[in-house]
Each structure stands twice: as C-alpha cells, then as structure tokens.
C-alpha cells in the first residue's frame, strides 16, 4: 500500500546469489587449501624439531640402541656409523622423513617398543581426560563469564573475577600436588594413576575386549560397570585440575567480550524492541560475544597440552603427556619427534575446526 520503490540495491541481490550458490564448493575448497597449508607447516615443524635434535651429540642419540651395559668406545663408534649419525644433517633428515613415509617412526626407549605401539598404548589415556575436561572447560568458562558480565560489579561478578585470577595464577603442578595431598593423602580418596590394581588385572586379562583403549568406553562395551566407575574415579581429580586452570582463560575473555557486546548499539535496538533481559543476553549478546572466545579456543588447546604434561606427571597417568615428559628427560629422540609432529597435526586440525566454526557463528566471515 505504500510505494517507496525508487532505488533497487543491485549489489544486494548479487551478494545473495553468490552466497547461496557457492557455499558448499567454497567450504570444500577451503578445507583442502588449509590441509595443504597444514602439510607445509608440519614440514617446517619437523625441520625445527630436527635441527633442535641435532644439537644432541650422536653418542647420546645412539644410546637408545645400546642394549648392554658395557659398551666400548669402539663399539659406540660402530653403532653411530651403523645408524648414520655422523652423516650430514640433510641426509639424516631425508632418511628420517623417508622412514616416516614408510610408517616407521623408530624405536622408543621410554615406551619400550616401537613408537607406534607406544602411541597406541598411551594415547587413549590422554584422550579420555581430554574428552572429559574440554567440554567442562568450555561450558564452565562461558557460563561463568556470561554470569560475571551480566551481573557486572555485583557479588557474582567479583566472585568469578577472583576465581579467574586465581585460576590463572595457580601453578598447575602445585594445585595438582595440593589436591593429591588433601584428597588422596588426607581423605584417602581419588588415588593417582589411571585405574586400581584390581581393575588393571581385569583389563590386562585375555578376556578383556580392548576396542578403543578408553577405559570407561571399553568398560561399557564389555559390560563391566565396575571398570567404568574405576576409570572415572581416577579421572576426577586430573580433570578438576585441568578445568580449574584452563577455564580461567575462557572466563576472562568471555566476560570482557560479553561486556563489550552488551555495550553495542544493537543491544539498544533490541531493548527498544521490547526484548527482555534474558532474550537480550542469550540471543543478542552471547552469540556476538562467543566469536572472540571461539578464536581463542585454539590457543587454549595449546595451553591444555602443556597442562596435560604436568597433570599426567603429577597424577601418574600413563598418557601422551607423561610419555613426552619422560621422553624429553631421557632424550628419547624418536618419541619426541613423533609426538611433536602428532601434536602439531592436532593443533592444525583444531585450528581448522575453529576457523570453520568461526565462519559459522559470524556470517560476516567468508572462508576464502
């Protein structure tokens, strides 16, 4: 009934067509391009790791092949010669890369077996902890951060801020030790390790059907609920340790980005529309506030890895973290190289997922 036609925004329609038509192709292209880039980065990472490892004298590196206690210098020389550790660095590097492509990552002294076997043994223990703690970290961080921003300068806000700054400042190892001292030492609950001795006998017996390696999941598959509980019981303290320390970062970021989002003009628009506080916080502010949180979660993952090394060392969980710590201390070169490459891959994949998620939440971002 009203006629205000005049300008037709030509660019509008064009934009829209572009968006709807090419979205899927774009995404696939993007992922492929990123994966190629990832290979490039991993190549660089392998170079860095390799050159760092070359600092170590050949005698030390060859030590992992030494089986007996008494080795004469001459024998040592022979071993170094045999494994080509005196060759020029590029040749050694090429040999190492060549072996990797054949699926041979070498022998790990700390795992007492091939690197791959060690990985299969240690990885599920870490994965279990990651799967339990990551959702908790994100949920608790986002929830408390939102709470703090919405109730700015109220007691809740002060509480979350204090919580965040303490979580940020506590040394991981100290918190872990204190938790262990209080719960295990004083109260006799939540022991270190990954499973009780009784449980260990069960899962190493031949009847045990090891499908995933995750203790809890395998327990469900095998129908042994006592093992599920046993595994979970040992997860509680390490997970708590990780959550306290890692969610502080998300909490702080969420709070400040939520505050920024709440100060934007579109919040005023929503208010003028007659929206209630709950709707505004939930729909208008939080989605915008999540954008920077998503971008930082890739970084959080790196922090989680460091936390994992220390947490597993303290709670004596035989996972990747503990393995890496021991490998680094004993200069178990093949294990270090493998794990660094593995974590580099994981890191790149996590960042790829983060970027895709980012584009999903923020329509302004196009993956190109």
**Please, are residues 217 and 211 in contact by the beta-carbon 8 Å criterion?**
yes
Residue with Cβ nearer other proteins (137 or 304): 304
Asked if 268 interacts with other proteins (CB under 8 A), we say yes
Q: Which residue in 11, 67, 90, 102 binds other proteins (CB under 8 A)?
A: 11
Can you tell me which of 251, 309, 354, 359 binds other proteins, judged by CB under 8 A? Answer: 309
Q: Decide if residue 28 touches other proteins (CB under 8 A).
A: no
Question: At residue 276, what are phi and psi to the nearest 5 degrees?
Answer: -85, 165
Phi–psi pair at 107, nearest 5 degrees:
-110, 130
Residue 125 or 228 with smaller CB distance to other proteins: 125
- Choices 65-73, 101-109, 174-182, 234-242; region in contact with other proteins by CB under 8 A: 174-182
CB closer to other proteins, 6 vs 70: 6
Q: What is the largest CA-CA distance in the chain?
A: 100
Name every residue whose Cβ is closer than 8 Å to that of residue 334 and which is 6 or more positions away in sequence: 64, 105, 106, 107, 108, 115
Question: Should residue 1 be labelled a site residue for other proteins when binding is judged by CB under 8 A?
Answer: yes
Q: How far is the CB of 227 from other proteins (least distance, A)?
A: 26
Taking the least distance from each CB to other proteins, the nearer of 36 and 52 is: 52
Q: Binding residue for other proteins (CB under 8 A) from 125, 348, 356, 358?
A: 348
In terms of CB distance, is 79 or 328 closer to other proteins? Answer: 328
Of 45-84, binders to other proteins (CB under 8 A) are 45, 48-49, 52-53, 55-56
The helices-and-strands tally (H runs, E runs) of the chain is: 15, 2
What is the residue-wise DSSP string for 57-108? -HHHHHGGG--SS---HHHHHHHHHHTTTTS-HHHHHHHHHHHHHTT---EE
Compute the distance between CA of residue 126 and CA of residue 309 in angstroms, rounded to an integer.
Answer: 10
Site for other proteins, residues 312 to 341, rule: CB under 8 A: 313, 324-325, 327-329, 331, 336, 339-340
Q: Nearest 5 degrees, angle CA 64-CA 68-CA 72?
A: 90
* Stretch binding other proteins (CB under 8 A), from 101-109, 177-185, 200-208, 220-228: 177-185
**135 counts as binding other proteins under rule CB under 8 A:** no
41 binds other proteins per the rule CB under 8 A: yes
| Residue 107, beta-bridge partner list | 114
276 is a contact residue toward other proteins (CB under 8 A)? yes
The smaller minimum CB distance to other proteins, of residues 305 and 353, is found at: 305
Which residue in 264, 292, 295, 318 binds other proteins (CB under 8 A)?
264
Q: Is there binding between residue 197 and other proteins (CB under 8 A)?
A: no
- Which of the 8 DSSP states describes residue 264? S
β-bridge partners, 344: none
**C-beta of residue 215 within 8 angstroms of C-beta of residue 121:** no
- Taking the C-alpha atoms of residue 252 and residue 144, their distance in angstroms, rounded to an integer, is 9
Residue with Cβ nearer other proteins (224 or 246): 246
User: Looking at 30, 173, 208, 232, which residue binds other proteins (CB under 8 A)?
Assistant: 173
Cα 314 to Cα 145, 193, 288: the distances in Å are 29, 9, 38
Confirm or reject binding of residue 203 to other proteins (CB under 8 A): no
For residue 275, state whether it binds other proteins (rule: CB under 8 A). yes
Report how many residues bind other proteins under the rule CB under 8 A.
Answer: 89
Residue 24 binds other proteins (CB under 8 A): no
Counting contacts by CB under 8 A, is residue 180 touching other proteins? yes
Q: Are 184 and 296 in contact (CB under 8 A)?
A: no
């Amino acid at each position: 009934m009203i006629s205000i036609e005049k300008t037709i925004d030509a660019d509008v329609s064009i934009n829209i067509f572009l968006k709807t038509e090419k979205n899927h192709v774009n995404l696939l292209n993007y992922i492929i391009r990123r994966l190629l880039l990832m290979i490039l980065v991993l190549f660089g990472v392998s170079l860095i790791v390799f050159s760092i490892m070359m600092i170590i004298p050949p005698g030390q590196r060859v030590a992992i092949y030494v089986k007996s206690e008494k080795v004469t210098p001459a024998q040592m020389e022979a071993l170094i010669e045999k494994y080509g550790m005196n060759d020029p660095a590029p040749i050694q590097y090429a040999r190492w890369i060549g072996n990797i492509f054949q699926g041979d990552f070498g022998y790990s002294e700390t795992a007492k077996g091939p690197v791959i076997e060690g990985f299969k043994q240690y990885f599920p223990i870490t994965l279990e902890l990651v799967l339990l703690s990551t959702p908790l970290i994100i949920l608790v961080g986002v929830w408390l951060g939102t709470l703090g921003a919405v109730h700015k300068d109220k007691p809740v806000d002060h509480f979350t801020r204090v919580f965040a700054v303490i979580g940020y400042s506590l040394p991981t190892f100290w918190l872990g030790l204190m938790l262990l001292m209080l719960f295990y030492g004083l109260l006799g609950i939540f022991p270190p390790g990954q499973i009780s001795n009784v449980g260990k006998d069960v899962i190493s017996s031949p009847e045990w059907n090891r499908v995933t390696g995750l203790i809890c999941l395998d327990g469900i598959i095998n129908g042994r609920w006592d093992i599920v509980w046993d595994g979970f019981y040992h997860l509680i303290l390490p997970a708590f340790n990780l959550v306290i320390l890692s969610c502080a970062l998300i909490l702080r970021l969420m709070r400040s980005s939520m505050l920024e989002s709440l100060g934007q003009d579109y919040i005023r628009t929503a208010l003028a529309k007659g929206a209630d506080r709950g709707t505004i916080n939930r729909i208008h502010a939080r989605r915008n506030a999540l954008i920077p949180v998503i971008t930082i979660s890739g970084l959080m993952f790196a922090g989680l890895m460091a936390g994992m090394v220390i947490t597993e060392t303290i709670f004596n969980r035989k996972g990747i973290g503990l393995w890496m710590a021991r490998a680094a201390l004993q200069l178990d070169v093949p294990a270090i190289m493998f794990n660094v490459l593995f974590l580099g891959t994981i890191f790149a994949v996590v960042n790829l997922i983060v970027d895709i998620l980012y584009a999903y939440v923020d329509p302004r971002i196009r993956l190109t």
